[in-house]
Amino acid sequence: MLFHVRMDVHLPPGLDPAVRDEIVAREKAYSQELQRAGKWPHIWRIVGEYSNFSIFDVESNDELHRLLSALPLFPYMDIRVTALARHPSKVD
C-alpha cells in the first residue's frame, strides 16, 4: 500500500541543543534504515520549511502507524497521511 505523508516538525524553541542534536541523529538513522528496507522509498524536503513530503510503501495502515509513531521526532510532528491508488493513465 502506498501513502503520501506530509510531516511538519515543530521543535520547542527552548529545547536543549544537545537533546535536539541527539533526537535529529536518531531520526536520520531510523529514516535511513526504513529507506534501505524499501518502506520509505521517497522523501523530499519542502523548501523553506522544516517539513517533508514522503512516500511510504507498507503492508497496512497499522504498519504505517507503527513506523511513523516510532520516529524520534514524532512527538514534535504534525503528520497528514493520504492513501494512494494507481492512476489508470499511468504508463508502466
pTM exceeds 0.85, yes or no: yes
pLDDT per residue as tens, the chain (92 positions): 999 999 999 999 999 999 999 999 999 999 999 999 999 999 999 999 999 999 999 999 999 999 999 999 999 999 999 999 999 999 98
Those residues with Cβ within 8 angstroms of residue 41's Cβ, 6 or more apart along the chain or in another chain: 35, 55, 56, 57
In contact, 43 and 52? CB cutoff 8 Å: yes
Number of domains in the chain: 1
CATH number of the domain encompassing residue 68: 3.30.70.1060
Domain range for 67 is: 2-84
State the Cα–Cα distance between residues 39 and 58, nearest whole angstrom: 6
Residue 81, Cβ density class (10 Å: 0-12 exposed, 13-18 middle, ≥19 buried): middle
Looking at the domain assignment, is residue 89 inside a domain? Answer: no
Name residue, grid cell 529514516. Answer: 31
